[in-house]
């Protein structure tokens, strides 16, 4: 591993898993002649009805701008398809990604809300995509309209532009399939959870097909007070304009009326030892989210080996957030406790260390209210050409991207917020507490993207392929604030030019084996999220690079896919504060890691979807003012393992179980607050018939007390995971 510049020190478990992979590689090589002639197991048939429950997805759309076999992508790719989501009872993006190793979750903080994800130790806040377009909106994503979720690991700016340090997450919408069907599903769960979904897919004539997924739900939580009400629809249309020309139009309309959850404050360097049901906020807190997305794609096959495509997408997001959370832990000199007699613990920055009993402590609330308007308008065009030059076969893809993002955030400051007991917080509304509202800073930002790219996959003889690509980006951004502070600039503008590269070499001795090495880069402008910390406006973009070596095996007639990889991701010039309001690019963050995955059928009745990621993260270099040198990046567990497996002992019955393990994590980069590791156990039991399915999902079967997502701000807060939960769903096919 000469590519890795830092020592790579895997844990004993990682060593064992890597050693285990080598016999598998040998097994794949020895069994290649047999697997080449084997037949794919396909879908399970129940009383004449085919059940689409295959976990193995051999093709991805995120590795080369076009549907590509995963074995031809020189990076780790994980596809969570509809079969996996249905079996696990996954109804949100977060729950659908739970069994993907290397992913952790960050709750709402600062100027952002909605889904916040860490991938291989780096934030993927703006690296979530919808049908290959950046999905910037700060909202909580549902799965009712999704056919699959694809996770591409590692820096990928050559394919997707700015960001993508740890990788990207692409949501693939359900589109007309030309296989008419109507389905409705009803889900009922403990804690008053009720959900309805429908999927109506019809062919109107030989040229026109439509599909309309819908959703409505009212969901309570195992946490006190929490209650969400959501509904949405995602109609799409396919028109075959000619045998060579296809027009596809899709939309997403979603409304969420949710309650925010900022979790528990820290005490003595850990989440406060109080009931995991405790809610620190106002009972009338709410987050209203309206999402409108319109996507159009025109594909034209100019020649048998030459395809032209143009896609355009317009997205509009409106977020109205009224949110309060635990800000400080302290003591009170009088009863009742008010802001006037409340004193913050002097050790807040050190994890609220104290000898006082939790019963003697109180929590002062802080406000996070804001009204956000986001929009994006982008156009992408590309040409795909399969061409031979002498003995070399090329898959050449070239294209462009043009787009504009806008962002408007009106902050609202709350006054006279209540002080609550740490161990027994009252449920108080804002009106009851006499809370006052005052408009705060108005931030307005916009950005324009111009980009062009080219990528070539060259077949070098029978067993070798080389992948190489380059993308040129120009990113113009600007922001204004009505209130200027030491951390908020009155105005800033930045133009960034960056060339991203990607290269890989694949060796495929047969159809069952692939061995590869790859290199990729990415960049992160200061105004990447259209928000800005004062002092960073004139700082060039952070640069990232990745080295990866791995293998992919297809066993049992392409029914089971295995992957293994070693990688290093390095942010070579991380922003580092050298004095108040002054930043330089002299920091270094490095993550060495290993990853193993398995997905698909071991036998016709037995399926598996599993993975393990080992991460060795370190802030290698930082200024003395920053004070994080040698620390571990936040929310990055060293070990993360998942296993989901199902078995059909009889033709109509399916039983399965799942385990999610994570080692301990730090809440923030100061490393003074941490959450312990955990193992969560899930299970499922399903009965399949030609017209209907009945499924029982049991989540957190052993009622493990664990923390699902973390928040760096306000000393570091931790959101507890769900308690034991049962979900019963009925799916009926017309």
Residue 407's pLDDT is what? 95
Token pair of 88 as six digits: 């696990």
Segment 653-674 mean pLDDT: 96
Q: How far is it, in rounded angstroms, from Cα 569 to Cα 592?
A: 7
18 pLDDT band, cuts 50/70/90, is: very low
Q: Is 5 a member of any domain?
A: no
Chain segment 217-261, per-residue pLDDT in tens: 999 877 778 889 999 999 999 999 999 999 999 999 999 999 888
Chain segment 27-74, per-residue pLDDT in tens: 334 433 333 334 555 555 544 444 557 999 999 989 888 899 999 999
Percent of the chain with pLDDT over 70: 92
The most confident of the ranges 526-530, 554-558, 592-596 is 592-596
Query: What are the φ/ψ torsions at residue 271 (nearest 5 degrees)?
Result: -55, 140
Q: Which string of DSSP letters, residue by residue, matches 212-245?
A: EEEEEEEEE-SSTT-EEEEEEE--EEEEEEETTE
Chain segment 277-303, per-residue pLDDT in tens: 999 999 999 999 999 999 999 999 999
Q: Are 561 and 598 in contact (CB under 8 A)?
A: yes
Residue 24 parent element (H or E): helix 12-30
Residues of 199-236 as b/e, b for ≥16 C-beta within 10 angstroms? Answer: bbbebeeeeebbbbbbbbbebbbbbbbbebebbbbbbb
Q: Are 151 and 119 in contact (CB under 8 A)?
A: yes
Chain segment 597-642, per-residue pLDDT in tens: 999 999 999 999 999 999 999 999 998 888 899 999 999 999 999 9
With a cut of 70, say whether residue 315 has pLDDT above it. Answer: yes
Q: Is 7 a member of any domain?
A: no
With a cut of 60, say whether residue 445 has pLDDT above it. Answer: yes
Domain range for 51: 12-733
Q: Is 1 a member of any domain?
A: no
Of residues 156 and 15, the one with the higher pLDDT is 156
Q: Is 2 a member of any domain?
A: no
Burial class (CB in 10 A: 0-12, 13-18, 19+), 578: middle
SS3 of residue 329 by DSSP? strand
Averaged pLDDT score across all residues of the chain: 90
With a cut of 90, say whether residue 681 has pLDDT above it. Answer: yes
Residue 75's pLDDT is what? 95
Residue 44's pLDDT is what? 52
Of residues 26 and 324, the one with the higher pLDDT is 324
Residue 433's pLDDT is what? 86
Residue 48's pLDDT is what? 43
Q: Is 3 a member of any domain?
A: no
Residues of 388-425 as b/e, b for ≥16 C-beta within 10 angstroms? Answer: eeeeeeebebbbebebebebbbbbbebeebbbbbbbeb
Q: Is 186 a member of any domain?
A: yes
Q: Is 562 a member of any domain?
A: yes
Residue 42's pLDDT is what? 52
In this predicted structure, which of 502-506, 558-562, 585-589, 660-664 has the lowest mean pLDDT? 585-589
108 pLDDT band, cuts 50/70/90, is: low
Lookup result for tokens 């009088």 = 334
* Overall residue count recorded for the chain in this entry: 734
Percent of the chain with pLDDT over 90: 75
Chain segment 361-401, per-residue pLDDT in tens: 999 999 888 999 999 999 999 999 999 999 999 999 999 99
Residue 625's pLDDT is what? 85
CATH code for position 271: 2.40.170.20
Q: Looking at the 3D structure of the chain, how many domains does it have?
A: 1
């Amino acid at each position: 591993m000469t590519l890795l510049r830092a020592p790579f020190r895997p844990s004993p478990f990682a060593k064992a898993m890597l050693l285990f992979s080598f016999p598998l590689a040998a097994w794949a090589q020895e069994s290649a002649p047999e697997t080449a002639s084997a037949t794919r197991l396909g879908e399970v048939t129940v009383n004449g009805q085919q059940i689409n429950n295959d976990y193995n997805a051999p093709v991805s759309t995120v590795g080369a701008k076009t549907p590509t076999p995963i074995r031809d992508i020189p990076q780790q790719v994980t596809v969570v398809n509809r079969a996996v989501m249905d079996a696990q009872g996954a109804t949100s993006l977060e729950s659908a990604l739970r069994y993907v190793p290397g992913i952790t979750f960050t709750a709402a903080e600062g100027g952002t809300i909605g889904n916040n994800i860490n991938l291989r130790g780096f934030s993927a806040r703006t690296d979530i995509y919808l049908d290959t377009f950046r999905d910037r909106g700060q909202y909580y994503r549902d799965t009712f309209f999704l056919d699959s979720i694809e996770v591409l690991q590692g820096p990928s700016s050559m394919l997707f532009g700015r960001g993508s340090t740890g990788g990207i997450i692409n949501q693939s919408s359900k589109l007309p399939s030309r296989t008419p069907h109507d389905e409705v599903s009803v889900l009922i769960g403990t804690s008053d959870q009720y959900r309805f979904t429908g999927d109506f897919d019809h062919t109107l004539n030989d040229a026109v097909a439509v599909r309309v997924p819908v959703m409505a739900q009212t969901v309570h939580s195992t946490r006190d007070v929490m209650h969400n009400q959501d509904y949405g629809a995602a109609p799409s249309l396919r028109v075959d304009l000619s045998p060579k020309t296809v027009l596809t139009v899709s939309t997403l309309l979603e409304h969420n009326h949710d309650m925010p959850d900022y979790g528990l404050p820290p005490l003595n360097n850990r989440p406060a030892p109080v009931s995991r049901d405790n809610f620190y906020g106002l009972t009338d807190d709410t987050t209203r989210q309206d999402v409108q997305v319109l996507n159009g794609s025109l594909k034209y096959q100019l020649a048998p080996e030459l395809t032209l495509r143009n896609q355009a997408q317009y997205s509009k997001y409106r977020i109205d957030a009224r949110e309060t959370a635990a800000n400080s832990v302290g003591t009170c000199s009088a009863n009742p406790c008010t802001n006037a007699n409340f004193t913050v613990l002097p050790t807040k920055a050190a994890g609220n260390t104290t000898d006082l009993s939790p019963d003697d402590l109180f929590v002062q609330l802080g406000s996070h209210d804001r009204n956000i308007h986001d929009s994006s308008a982008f156009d992408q065009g590309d040409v795909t050409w399969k061409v031979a030059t002498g003995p070399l076969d090329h898959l050449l893809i070239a294209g462009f991207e043009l787009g504009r993002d806008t962002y408007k955030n009106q902050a609202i400051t709350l006054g006279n917020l209540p002080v609550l007991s740490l161990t027994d917080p009252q449920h108080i509304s804002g009106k009851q507490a006499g809370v006052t509202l005052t408009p705060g800073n108005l931030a307005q930002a916009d950005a324009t993207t111009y980009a062009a790219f080219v990528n070539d996959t060259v077949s070098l003889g029978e067993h070798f392929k080389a992948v190489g690509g380059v993308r040129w980006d120009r990113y113009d951004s600007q922001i204004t604030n009505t209130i200027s502070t030491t951390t908020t600039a009155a105005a800033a503008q930045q133009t960034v030019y960056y060339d991203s590269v990607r290269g890989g070499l694949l060796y495929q001795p047969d159809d069952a084996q692939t061995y590869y090495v790859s290199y990729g880069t990415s960049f992160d402008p200061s105004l990447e999220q259209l928000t800005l910390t004062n002092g960073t406006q004139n700082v060039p973009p952070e640069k990232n690079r990745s080295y990866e070596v791995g293998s992919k095996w297809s066993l049992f007639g392409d029914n089971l896919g295995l992957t293994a990889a070693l990688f290093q991701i390095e942010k070579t010039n991380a922003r580092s504060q050298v004095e108040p309001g002054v930043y330089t690019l002299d920091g270094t963050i490095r993550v060495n890691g290993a990853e193993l995955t398995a997905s698909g059928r071991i036998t016709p009745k037995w399926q598996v979807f599993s993975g393990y990621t080992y991460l060795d993260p370190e802030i290698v270099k930082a200024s003395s003012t920053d004070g994080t040198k040698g620390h571990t990046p936040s929310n990055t567990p060293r070990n993360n393992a998942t296993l989901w497996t199902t078995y059909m002992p009889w033709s109509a019955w399916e039983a399965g179980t799942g385990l999610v393990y994570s080692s301990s994590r730090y809440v923030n980069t100061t490393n003074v607050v941490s959450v312990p590791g955990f193992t969560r156990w899930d299970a499922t039991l399903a009965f399949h018939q030609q017209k209907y399915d009945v499924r029982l999902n049991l989540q957190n079967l052993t009622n493990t007390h664990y923390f699902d997502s973390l928040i760096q701000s306000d000393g570091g807060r931790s959101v507890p995971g769900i308690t034991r939960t049962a979900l019963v769903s009925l799916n009926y096919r017309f």
